[in-house]
Structure 1
Amino acid sequence: MVISRATTEKVRDRADIEEIVSDYVPLKKKGQNLWACCPFHNEKSPSFSVSPAKQIYKCFGCGKAGDPIQFVMDIEGIGFNEAIRQLAKKYGIEIEEEKNVTPEELQAYNERESLYIVLNYAKDFFVNNLDTEEGKSIGLSYFKERGFDRQTIEKFDLGYALDGWDHLLQSAKKAGHSEELLLKSGLILQKEGDASRYYDRFRGRVTFTIHNLSGKAIGFGARILTQDKKQPKYINSPETEVYHKSDILYGIFQAKKSIREKDNCYLVEGYTDVISLHLAGIENVVASSGTSLTENQIKLIKRFTDNITVLYDGDAAGIRASLRGIDMILEGGLNVKAVVFPEGEDPDSYARKVGSSAFQSYLENNSQDFISFKISLFAEEAAKDPIKQADLVKQVVASIGKIPDPIIRTVYIQQSARLLHMEEEIIQAELNKIFLKEQKDLFFKEQRDQEASFIEDLLPTKEQPTTNSKLIEIQEREMLRLLVNYGFEMVSEELHVCQYLLQETGDLNFHIPVYERILNIYKEALSEGILPQPEYFLSHSDPEVKKEVINLITRKYELSNLWESRFQIFTHHEADDLAKTVYDSILHLKKRVLKKLLEEAKVKIKEAEEEKADESIITERLSIYMELKKYQVEIDKQLGIVISY
């Protein structure tokens, strides 16, 4: 069931944004806020800001923003209720269920829970199939040939899908699971040409259960055991509400404790590689399951360790094709080592071939840092070719450039210079070229972000000419920013900022729906005797409202207090003269609205002239235009604008 509001409020009161975010990324204080490289996208310069005072976070790079609950939802990829449960457990808060929930809330919660239930049913069904005659002779025999004992089979929930069209479908329907739910979970497929007919996705294959971090079954991989070349060797569950391939790693549930303890994560390619390493006594291992490594998978590993050792099959072409993964890991701020197995071997085959003790010794003796690994990979062919040697240097330098830590970079510069028989200065010079280009790109990007991050979204493209309506929207946002940030402040001895703003703009309607919603929430609060401060909106149920308010109250750049306290350099702040700041904002908004009305009046005059309308109609429309023009001239004077347009 849905968690009660009382429990949610207790979690909101107890959850501390700094404490929660620091569980995932290291924070450094700069000014009033804390900063880090964003955990939601790759970056080298920190743009992820945490405000302990406001209990919010915002990334000025990718736009992610929210409160402690939203952060857990974003970082874990879970829903609101699951985030509340996780935080309640962290803070020792007893969870109460909500008795009164909306039908929509109940439906969404039940659907997600139902997916977990039906996937768990399928997992048990596949596991139990190993005890059937067919399962024993085919599925269990395959696992035994691989050296998988019963304990390992149970540990990973290995199973077998019976060779028939609808064994799972019929069994699940008898257990009360609907065809619709089985279809949403990816367990069955619709027959082409007959939407009323369904059949099992997995048939005649051994199954590998994919678990999430908490151990719930979220999907399956399945391997065929026959030599049918028309069928793929492996098939996997499709993307569903609970299974996102780019966010999960096979074996992470079984490995997370060991990864923390060993402070290292072995990264392999397939399901059987993971299981074979467990049999060899190595439990800190996960697999990308045959797909290219993703940023989210790297972030998932980083939650448990900063060290990754990539295990490569003995296939030079395959290794070179997957080198991009090492650069991604480096860019993610992790330390990388690599182990290459003898030609023709993979972690699974080699572990079974040499045994547990020899396998562990091989990993220890053949582990090398990424610089040595990369150079050794290309050294032989580059030795006699100056062009290839130069290319190797550039590749190595490019990888070093991905490392965010300057001390680690320096160590690798020294090592690569020694291995490549080159001067450190040459390596450093090449690296500086990369950094200069990146800093130049970053500088111009930050300038655009700082000066026009919002305007960029509104300003027209080549296909869409400039319109005054867009500029009105920009000015509306500025007015709303002042209302949310300073509405509770006094603009005079008897008047609040919010009263002044609302009086002066009472007849105006906002163009952007979320702005209108925020304004209405503000007005409703005032009618209830509440003078809202920014925090008032952060507990609102509308996530779009929360995110937009965070955008309104946060800034990427702040002037250091040292400017005034130490250097006696005094700067103007908008809050220093709220009356003028608010007054100018209202004038600019009215100016934009008047300009739009003038444009519309011109069109109506032209239409009347083209239609040869009665002279009185044309005169009336001209009179309206001239009256609007007078207002515009007056506003321009108040703004100090000499040229009227």
Structure 2
Amino acid sequence: MGLSNITTEKVKERVDIEEVVNDYVSLKKKGQNLWACCPFHNEKSPSFSVSPAKQIYKCFGCGAAGDALKFVMDIEGIGFNEAIKHLAQKYGIEIEEEKAATPEEVQAYNERESLYIVQGFAKDHFSKNLLDSEEGKSVGLSYFKERGFNLSTIEKFDLGYAMDSWDHLHHAANKAGHSDDILLKGGLILQKEGDPSRKYDRFRGRVVFTIHNLAGKPIAFGARILTNDKKQPKYINSPETAIYHKSDVLYGIYQAKQAIRSQDNCYLVEGYTDVISMHLSGIENVVASSGTSLTENQIKLIKRFTDNVTVLYDGDAAGIKASLRGIDMLLEGGLNVKAVVFPEGDDPDSYSRKVGSEAFQQYLHDHARDFIAFKIELYAEEAAHDPIKRADTVRQVVQSVAKIPDPITRSVYVKESARLLKMDEDIVLAELNKILLKGQKDAYFKEKQQAPPPPDAGAPFEDFLPEQKSKWSSADVLAKQEREMMRLLVTYGFEKVSDDLHVCEYLIQETGDVSFGTPIYQKLFVEYKRALKKGVLPDADYFIKLDDEEIKGEVINMISQRHEMSDNWEQKHMIYTNRESDDLSKTTFNEILRLKRRVLEKMVDETMEKIRSAEEQNKLEEVTEFQMVLISLNGSLKEINKQLGTVKSR
């Protein structure tokens, strides 16, 4: 169960964060770093930064941060050992087992691994049924061949067949050593109500479509009935499990991700067979929502690979109108959206088989419309002679335009909408502004109703506005200053402020009488001094390589910068900007003074509170004593402010 230190170290030495992250999102270079929209939260413009030089990532929107290993753990929702194994497989590193894990770790790991294993077993079982059994070949394989699916396509998508038997899979799985408990948790068998001893297969007498995760592992199944039995649903799907959440998955994403990235476009269809038929037509950048309503997480999954989506609709106007909410969600997710409508009665699967690959591809090219033209055409006929419906069409179009987060793109679509609707641009713009204003008001009142979050001790001072800082308590401000002190120590501790004095030595000497009130900074300070005792001058890389995730995450937050000074700025414009590293002795001295000032301010607040309490209890001697302490503290504050050139500290 446990991994050897050798395996872990080999993975850490070999792993490259750019290669790892690029498997999940499309990175674009800007300055020294690589940027993308964050895969961990929904955002409109890129705030997710990857530093190849430091081998770390940082999202300035949601705060997610870490190294390549942490990224895999979070994106895949797996533990440390699983992440090491995942990366070891990616880089072809042999996995060596070593120490035993705790019982809790073993149980959690085994259950998840067992689910992957049993789904893999079921995939192989269904495939064997399809290709080797008489029933599978005569029923399932015949169905796939009628649709033009060849053996290579069947293998590519792991298609299969579930025998028309109550317990064919159940019996085979038990025989192979898989327990009923894991088969139930994996959604492969069901238990009869009122009789726990009676268990039977979920999928029976159906062709089976395997659903893969982004890494290509089987995680669930969809199964289609081939008879006209009205009492049974056409499709049955796996339930949600520990490894399968349908709102996070798109059918075909594993087979499509490279093509989506290279084509910079994703075709979005409805069903399993639509995806496979398009692959047969030579179009691989296609995924399906598998009959479910499109979700935010599915949109985020697409956006990892491209900003462009083309939605393919069956030729059914009523059905299209019912699913238009999906286009608005795609727009809101920051994607550029086009749509293609097939002739009435056709879908991507039937039309591709009807006209052939070349004509199908040409149809997609010729009939792709941006969402504005698509919406207008959809409502054009019924709105042609009805002023009320025409006005409603205008509102429908403008409401979609309002979903676009980028103001420049929004402005372009206002002009295009006015042109296609044959209306004055000012009228379209006025309607748009009305919608946007209402959205802003709703957001404002929603924000007012929510309690403001406490200041983030992990964010730098410059990220906060003056009105935000004014609401902080002295304890909050002290935590921020403690962070600044530790950031300086981690970033420049190994530099020298003089010929024989390092920054870390100077800081530690001067702060010897100050203790850190924030646990993480005290912990980091202790770890720093421990390294010094071992004869190591630690830098940021030293802490990132520690196994302590709390320290690692904090240090990554400290050293990540959202904005970079352009390399050509000073040379091109002859404008020189002072940096804190230009004069480390002055920077260090000022930070020490600021920390001491924040400590004194906190002591002043505490002393004033004691004075108020003593006055309420009429303890005049204590009031006098605390007043003398307050005078002393204010005197020290005044002296520090004088050295810092500050009239008022807060």
- Residue type matched to 2:551 in 1? V
Q: CA deviation at 1:49?
A: 3.0
After TM superposition, the structure 1 = structure 2 runs for residues 525-564 of structure 1, keeping only pairs within 5 Å, are: 525-557=531-563
Residues 24-68 of structure 1, C-alpha deviation per residue, up to 9 Å, x if partnerless? 4343434x5554444544444442334444332222112222234
Give the Cα separation in 1 of the matches to 2:404 and 2:649: 54
Give the Cα separation in 2 of the matches to 1:338 and 1:125: 38
Give the Cα separation in 2 of the matches to 1:201 and 1:596: 68
8 Å Cα contact 2:270/2:291 also seen in 1: yes
Cα distance, 1:455–1:80 mapped onto 2, change above 3 Å:
farther
Give the Cα separation in 2 of the matches to 1:460 and 1:236: 54
2:493 corresponds to: 487
Q: CA deviation at 1:519?
A: 3.0
Cα distance, 1:532–1:390 mapped onto 2, change above 3 Å:
farther
1:311 corresponds to: 312
Q: CA deviation at 1:262?
A: 6.2
Q: CA deviation at 1:403?
A: 6.5
8 Å Cα contact 1:276/1:348 also seen in 2: yes
Question: Is it true that 1:209 corresponds to 2:218 in the alignment?
Answer: no
Q: CA deviation at 1:217?
A: 1.1
Q: CA deviation at 1:552?
A: 1.9
1:373 corresponds to: 374
2:98 corresponds to: 99
Give the Cα separation in 1 of the matches to 2:14 and 2:228: 58
Residues 218-242 of structure 1, C-alpha deviation per residue, up to 9 Å, x if partnerless? 1112345677777654343234343
8 Å Cα contact 2:597/2:637 also seen in 1: no
2:63 corresponds to: 63
2:276 corresponds to: 275
Give the Cα separation in 2 of the matches to 1:578 and 1:437: 47
Cα distance, 1:630–1:409 mapped onto 2, change above 3 Å:
closer
Q: CA deviation at 1:502?
A: 4.4
Give the Cα separation in 2 of the matches to 1:208 and 1:99: 38
Residues 232-254 of structure 1, C-alpha deviation per residue, up to 9 Å, x if partnerless? 54343234343333333212334
Give the Cα separation in 2 of the matches to 1:573 and 1:361: 59
After TM superposition, the structure 1 = structure 2 runs for residues 447-526 of structure 1, keeping only pairs within 5 Å, are: 469-490=475-496, 496-499=502-505, 501-502=507-508, 512-526=518-532
Structure 1 stretches of 5 or more lacking a match?
none
Cα distance, 1:502–1:176 mapped onto 2, change above 3 Å:
farther
Residues 477-506 of structure 1, C-alpha deviation per residue, up to 9 Å, x if partnerless? 344333333433456666544445545656
What TM-score do you get using the length of structure 1 for normalisation?
A: 0.77
Cα distance, 1:300–1:47 mapped onto 2, change above 3 Å:
closer
Structure 2 stretches of 5 or more lacking a match?
none
Q: CA deviation at 1:376?
A: 0.5
- Residue type matched to 1:578 in 2? T
Q: CA deviation at 1:270?
A: 1.4
- Residue type matched to 1:182 in 2? L
Residues 4-29 of structure 1, C-alpha deviation per residue, up to 9 Å, x if partnerless? 54455455455555566567434343
Give the Cα separation in 2 of the matches to 1:19 and 1:257: 13
Question: Is it true that 1:341 corresponds to 2:325 in the alignment?
Answer: no
- Residue type matched to 1:583 in 2? I
1:635 corresponds to: 636
1:581 corresponds to: 590
Name the SS of the counterpart of 1:320 in structure 2.
Answer: helix
After TM superposition, the structure 1 = structure 2 runs for residues 11-22 of structure 1, keeping only pairs within 5 Å, are: 11-13=11-13, 15-17=15-17
Q: CA deviation at 1:413?
A: 6.2
Name the SS of the counterpart of 2:113 in structure 1.
Answer: helix
Name the SS of the counterpart of 2:210 in structure 1.
Answer: strand
1:237 corresponds to: 238
Name the SS of the counterpart of 2:593 in structure 1.
Answer: helix
1:124 corresponds to: 124
Residues 248-302 of structure 1, C-alpha deviation per residue, up to 9 Å, x if partnerless? 3212334456656766543211123223444566554321111233454445445
8 Å Cα contact 2:127/2:160 also seen in 1: yes
Give the Cα separation in 2 of the matches to 1:544 and 1:526: 20
- Residue type matched to 1:629 in 2? L
After TM superposition, the structure 1 = structure 2 runs for residues 137-148 of structure 1, keeping only pairs within 5 Å, are: none
Q: Which moved more, 1:476-485 or 1:400-409?
A: 400-409
Give the Cα separation in 1 of the matches to 2:513 and 2:187: 53
Cα distance, 1:428–1:605 mapped onto 2, change above 3 Å:
closer
Cα distance, 1:224–1:583 mapped onto 2, change above 3 Å:
same
After TM superposition, the structure 1 = structure 2 runs for residues 167-206 of structure 1, keeping only pairs within 5 Å, are: 167-188=168-189, 199-200=199-200, 202-204=202-204, 206=206
Cα root mean square deviation, aligned: 5.0
Cα distance, 1:413–1:89 mapped onto 2, change above 3 Å:
farther
Q: CA deviation at 1:412?
A: 5.8
What TM-score do you get using the length of structure 2 for normalisation?
A: 0.76
Q: CA deviation at 1:587?
A: 1.5
Give the Cα separation in 2 of the matches to 1:193 and 1:496: 74
1:420 corresponds to: 421
Give the Cα separation in 2 of the matches to 1:591 and 1:362: 73
8 Å Cα contact 1:504/1:586 also seen in 2: no
8 Å Cα contact 1:128/1:159 also seen in 2: yes
Cα distance, 1:81–1:383 mapped onto 2, change above 3 Å:
farther
- Residue type matched to 1:581 in 2? N
8 Å Cα contact 1:475/1:588 also seen in 2: no
> Which of 591, 614, 626 is 2:600 aligned to?
591
Q: CA deviation at 1:136?
A: 6.5
Residues 71-119 of structure 1, C-alpha deviation per residue, up to 9 Å, x if partnerless? 45555666656665666677x6644535346447666655443322111
Q: CA deviation at 1:548?
A: 1.9
Cα distance, 1:530–1:564 mapped onto 2, change above 3 Å:
same
8 Å Cα contact 1:587/1:635 also seen in 2: no
8 Å Cα contact 2:507/2:588 also seen in 1: no
Give the Cα separation in 2 of the matches to 1:43 and 1:63: 13
Q: CA deviation at 1:151?
A: 5.8
